[in-house]
C-alpha cells in the first residue's frame, strides 16, 4: 500500500495562487483612467466670457427670480402732441380705433408672454446646466467615468483568485479521495480489525484450556474474536464511506465554485473591456451635450439674434407701449364723447391695478355694444333750411358781402333728441325777374308770375359751425358741446338747387356727431360762380343738414 501524499503548505499554496492570478488578470489602463478624470474640452472657444455674459443676462441670483409682471404693469400714460387731433365727438370712430389698437396690443401681449415664458424656462435650464456642469466636473475628477472600469478590473482579479483557490482545493480533495479509496481506508480497516480480533486473547498462552466458545448473533455463529473482528470491519467500512461521501460533496462544491468564478471572471473581463472604451464615450457624450448647451447660450446673447430674448421682448414691449398709449388716448376721448353726446359715463379701470388691460378691453366692448344699440334706434334724414329765412333782416347785407352769420334753434327739431350732424351741403337759387308793368287790368291778371333766374356755374363756400353746440338728451336735459376745435368745412361745388347734379355733402368725417343747434353759424360764398354769376344776384341759399336723431 502506498503512503498518502503530503499535504502542501497552505501559505505556499496561497502565494502561488495569488501569483498565478496576478499573472492572468487584466492590467489596468492607467492612461485611460487619467484621461477619464481630466476636465472636458469645449468645442467653442471663449467659454468663460460666454458664461459670464449669460449669467449677467439670464442668471438667477441667490434670492431667486423677481416676479414676472404682465406687460401693462408698468404703463404710465403720457399725453402726446397728436392727441389734440382726436375729436371726442367722433366717438364711434374712436371706439373702433381703440378696439383695433387693443387687438394689436393683445397679439403683442400674447407674443411677449410666450417669449417671457420661453425666457423663464431658459433661465431655469441655464441655471440647472451651470450648476450641474460644475457638479459633473467634480464627479468626473473624482472618477465618475472611470470607477466602474477600475472596479471591474479589480473584481476580475478577485474572481480569478477565487477560481484558482477553489480549483486547488478541489485538486487536493480529489487526491485525498483517491488516496483514501485506494489505500487509506484498507490500512485503517486492517488496523481496526486486528485490534478488535486480538483484544480478547490473553497475553500469555500456558493457562488456556478447552476450545473457544461459540456465540450466535444475527444468524451467524462465531467465536468472540471473530464477532469482534466482523463488527470492527463493518463499522470501519461504514465510517469510510460516510467520509468519502462528505469529501466528494465538498469536492463538487469547490468544482462548482471555481467554474462559477471562472464564468464571472469572463463576464467581468468583457465588462471591463467595454467600460474601458466607455470612459472616452462617456466623455464624448457629456461634451456633446455641453457643446449643444453652449451653442444655445451663444445664440441667446447674440445681438439681433432670434433667440436673444431680452432684445425681442424689449422690441415687443416698445410696440405694445406705443399702441397701448394710443388706445388709452382714444378711450379717454371716447369716454368724454359718450358722456357729452349720450350722457353715458361708464368708469374706466385704474392704471396699475390687476387686470387693467382686460378692464379696458371690457370697457371698449361695452361701449361698442351701447353704440350699436343707439345706432339701431337712430333716424337719419336731410333737413333743408333757407338761409334767407335764417338770416332774416341780415340777408341783404350778407348777400352784398357774400357771407352770413346765423343761428339754428332747437325748435327746428321738435320731438327729437341727440341731434348729430352727418354732413352738410349747399345750393343756390337765382333772383326772380321783376314782372313787366301791367298795361291793363286784364293783362295784369293774365301775366305769369316772375320766374327765378337759374344761376350758372358753381360757387365755393366755407361753412363754420357754432363754437358751442347744444345737445338734448332723451331725459330732456340739455348740454353744451365744445365745438371750437371743429375745422371750417369747404364746399367746392355749390350749384343751383334745381341742378341735375347730386348735391355734394361734405363734413361727414370732421363734423360727425357735432350738434347743428347753436348760435353763430358762419357761411362765406365766393363773390361769383365759375360762370361769372354774381352772388349778390342770388335770391336764396339752401342749407341741407344730414342729421341722425332719436325720436
pLDDT in tens, 500-545: 888 889 999 999 999 999 999 999 999 999 999 999 999 999 999 9
pLDDT in tens, 464-487: 999 999 999 999 999 999 999 999
Range in 134-138, 350-354, 406-410 with the lowest mean pLDDT: 350-354
Closest C-alpha to 337, from 311, 370, 288: 370
Mean pLDDT value across residues 9-20: 44
Cell of 345: 359715463
φ/ψ of 22, rounded to 5, equals -65, -35
Q: Which helix or strand (DSSP H or E) is residue 548 part of?
A: strand 538-550
SS3 521: strand
Q: Shortest CA distance to 323 belongs to which of 116, 98, 111?
A: 98
Which three-class secondary structure state does DSSP give residue 402?
Answer: coil
Q: What is the mean pLDDT of residues 410-419?
A: 96
Instruction: Give the pLDDT of residue 173.
Output: 80
- pLDDT(295) > 80: yes
pLDDT of 17 over the 50 cut? no
Residue 291 pLDDT greater than 70, yes or no = yes
pLDDT value for 207: 60
- pLDDT the model gives residue 97: 97
Write down the pLDDT at residue 260.
86
Are 317 and 69 within 8 A, CB to CB? no
Q: What is the pLDDT of residue 185?
A: 64
Query: What would the grid cell of residue 343 be?
Result: 350722457
Per-residue pLDDT, 2: 37
Mean per-residue pLDDT, 84-109:
96
d(C-alpha 441, C-alpha 437), whole Å: 11
For the chain, what percent of residues have pLDDT higher than 90? 57
Sign, CA torsion 528/532/538/541: negative
Name the more confident of 463 and 247: 463
pLDDT of 419 reads 97
Higher pLDDT, 107 or 204: 107
User: What are the residue boundaries of the structural domains of the chain, listed by start?
Assistant: 379-433+450-550
Residues 58, 61, 65: CA angle, nearest 5 degrees:
70
Which letter does DSSP use for residue 501 in this model? Answer: S
CA 546/CA 516 separation, integer angstroms: 10
Q: Phi and psi for 520 in degrees, rounded to 5?
A: 70, 45
**At residue 3, does pLDDT exceed 70?**
no
Does residue 332 contact residue 364 with C-beta atoms inside 8 Å? Answer: no
C-alpha cell read off for 380: 337719419
Instruction: Tell me: pLDDT of 377 over 70.
Output: yes
Lowest mean pLDDT among 135-149, 158-172, 346-360, 502-516: 158-172
Q: In this predicted structure, what is the pLDDT of residue 453?
A: 67
Mean pLDDT, range 353-371, rounded to an integer: 95
Tell me which range, 1-15, 365-379, 494-508, is most confidently predicted by mean pLDDT: 365-379
Report phi then psi at 466, rounded to 5.
-60, 145
Helix (H) / strand (E) containing 196: helix 185-198
Average pLDDT over residues 215-240: 73
Residue 222 pLDDT level (bands cut at 50, 70, 90):
confident
Q: Is the pLDDT of residue 305 over 80?
A: yes
Coil, helix or strand at residue 70: coil
Residue whose C-alpha is closest to residue 509's, from 528, 530, 487, 524: 487
**Taking a C-beta distance cutoff of 8 angstroms, is the pair 522, 469 a contact?**
no
Q: Report angle CA 60, 63, 69 to the nearest 5 degrees.
A: 70
pLDDT at 235: 72
pLDDT value at position 81? 93
**Amino acid 14: pLDDT:** 41
Q: Which cell numbers hold the place of 483? A: 365745438
Asked whether the predicted pLDDT for residue 19 surpasses 60, the reply is no
Segment among 69-78, 168-177, 264-273, 382-391 with least mean pLDDT:
168-177
Residue of 283, 277, 291 lying closest to 37 (CA atoms) = 283
Where are the alpha helices (H) located in 199-308, listed in sequence order?
224-299
pLDDT at 158 over 50: yes
Average pLDDT on 77-82 reads: 92
Angle, alpha carbons 55-56-59 (nearest 5°): 45
Torsion, CA 363, CA 368, CA 370, CA 375, rounded to 10: 160
Q: How far apart are CA 228 and CA 17, in angstroms?
A: 48
- What confidence score (pLDDT) does residue 450 get? 59
Range picked from 136-150, 182-196, 405-419, 500-514 for highest mean pLDDT: 405-419
The secondary structure element, H or E, covering residue 215 is: strand 214-217
Phi, psi (degrees; rounded to nearest 5) at 327: -65, -45
SS (H, E, C) 405-457: EEEECHHHCCCCEEEEEEEEEEEEEECECCCCCCCCHHHHHHCCCCCECCCCC
Look at residue 60 in the predicted model and tell me its pLDDT: 92
Nearest to 344 by CA among 512, 473, 468, 516: 473
Lowest pLDDT segment from 1-10, 19-28, 254-263, 286-295: 1-10
Closest Cα to residue 381, out of 428, 413, 407, 426? 413
- Do the Cβ atoms of 449 and 533 come closer than 8 Å? no
What's the chain's average pLDDT?
Answer: 86
Model confidence pLDDT, tens digit, residues 236-264: 777 777 777 787 888 788 888 878 888 88
Q: How confident is the model at residue 159 (pLDDT cuts 50, 70, 90)?
A: confident
Q: How far is CA 310 from CA 121, 155, 303, 317, 375, in A?
A: 14, 54, 10, 10, 46
- Can you give the pLDDT at residue 210? 67
| Length of the chain counted residue by residue | 551
Amino acid at each position: 500500500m502506498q503512503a498518502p501524499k503530503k499535504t502542501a503548505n497552505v501559505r505556499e499554496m496561497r502565494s502561488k495562487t495569488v501569483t498565478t492570478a496576478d499573472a492572468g488578470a487584466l492590467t489596468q489602463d492607467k492612461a485611460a483612467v487619467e484621461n477619464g478624470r481630466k476636465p472636458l474640452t469645449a468645442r467653442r472657444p471663449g467659454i468663460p466670457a460666454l458664461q459670464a455674459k449669460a449669467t449677467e443676462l439670464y442668471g438667477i441670483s441667490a434670492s431667486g427670480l423677481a416676479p414676472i409682471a404682465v406687460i401693462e404693469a408698468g404703463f404710465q400714460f403720457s399725453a402726446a402732441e397728436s392727441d389734440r387731433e382726436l375729436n371726442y365727438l367722433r366717438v364711434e370712430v374712436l371706439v373702433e380705433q381703440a378696439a383695433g389698437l387693443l387687438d394689436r396690443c393683445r397679439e403683442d401681449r400674447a407674443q411677449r408672454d410666450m417669449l417671457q415664458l420661453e425666457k423663464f424656462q431658459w433661465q431655469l435650464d441655464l441655471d440647472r446646466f451651470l450648476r450641474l456642469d460644475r457638479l459633473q466636473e467634480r464627479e468626473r475628477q473624482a472618477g465618475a467615468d472611470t470607477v466602474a472600469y477600475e472596479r471591474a478590473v479589480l473584481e476580475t482579479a478577485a474572481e480569478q483568485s477565487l477560481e484558482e483557490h477553489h480549483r486547488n482545493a478541489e485538486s487536493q480533495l480529489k487526491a485525498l479521495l483517491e488516496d483514501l479509496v485506494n489505500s487509506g481506508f484498507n490500512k485503517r480497516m486492517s488496523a481496526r480489525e486486528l485490534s478488535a480480533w486480538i483484544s480478547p486473547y490473553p497475553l500469555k498462552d500456558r493457562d488456556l484450556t478447552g476450545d473457544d466458545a461459540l456465540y450466535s448473533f444475527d444468524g451467524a455463529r462465531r467465536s468472540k474474536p471473530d464477532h469482534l473482528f466482523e463488527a470492527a470491519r463493518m463499522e470501519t467500512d461504514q465510517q469510510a464511506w460516510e467520509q468519502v461521501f462528505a469529501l466528494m460533496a465538498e469536492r463538487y462544491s469547490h468544482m462548482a465554485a471555481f467554474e462559477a468564478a471562472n464564468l464571472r471572471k469572463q463576464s467581468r473581463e468583457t465588462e471591463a473591456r467595454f467600460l474601458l472604451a466607455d470612459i472616452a464615450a462617456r466623455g464624448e457624450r457629456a461634451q456633446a451635450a455641453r457643446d449643444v448647451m453652449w451653442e444655445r447660450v451663444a445664440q441667446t446673447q447674440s445681438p439681433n439674434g432670434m433667440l436673444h430674448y431680452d432684445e425681442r421682448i424689449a422690441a415687443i414691449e416698445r410696440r405694445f407701449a406705443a399702441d397701448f398709449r394710443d388706445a388709452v388716448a382714444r378711450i379717454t376721448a371716447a369716454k368724454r364723447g359718450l358722456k357729452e353726446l349720450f350722457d353715458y359715463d361708464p368708469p374706466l379701470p385704474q392704471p396699475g391695478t390687476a387686470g387693467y388691460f382686460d378692464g379696458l378691453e371690457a370697457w371698449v366692448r361695452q361701449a361698442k355694444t351701447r353704440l350699436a344699440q343707439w345706432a339701431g334706434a337712430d333716424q337719419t334724414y336731410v333737413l333743408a333750411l333757407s338761409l334767407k329765412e335764417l338770416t332774416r333782416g341780415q340777408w341783404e347785407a350778407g348777400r352784398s358781402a357774400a357771407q352770413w352769420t346765423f343761428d339754428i334753434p332747437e325748435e327746428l327739431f321738435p320731438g327729437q333728441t341727440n341731434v348729430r350732424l352727418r354732413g352738410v351741403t349747399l345750393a343756390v337759387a337765382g333772383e326772380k325777374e321783376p314782372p313787366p308793368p301791367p298795361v291793363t287790368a286784364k293783362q295784369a291778371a293774365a301775366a305769369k308770375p316772375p320766374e327765378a333766374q337759374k344761376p350758372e356755374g358753381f360757387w365755393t363756400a366755407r361753412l363754420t359751425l357754432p363754437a358751442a353746440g347744444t345737445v338734448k338728451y332723451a331725459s330732456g336735459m340739455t348740454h353744451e358741446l365744445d365745438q371750437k376745435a371743429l375745422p371750417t368745412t369747404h364746399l367746392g361745388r355749390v350749384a343751383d338747387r334745381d341742378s341735375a347734379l347730386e348735391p355734394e355733402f361734405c363734413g361727414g368725417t370732421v363734423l360727425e356727431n357735432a350738434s347743428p343747434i347753436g348760435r353763430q353759424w358762419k357761411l362765406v360764398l365766393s363773390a361769383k360762380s365759375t360762370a361769372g354769376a354774381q352772388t349778390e344776384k342770388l335770391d336764396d341759399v339752401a342749407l341741407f343738414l344730414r342729421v341722425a336723431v332719436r325720436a
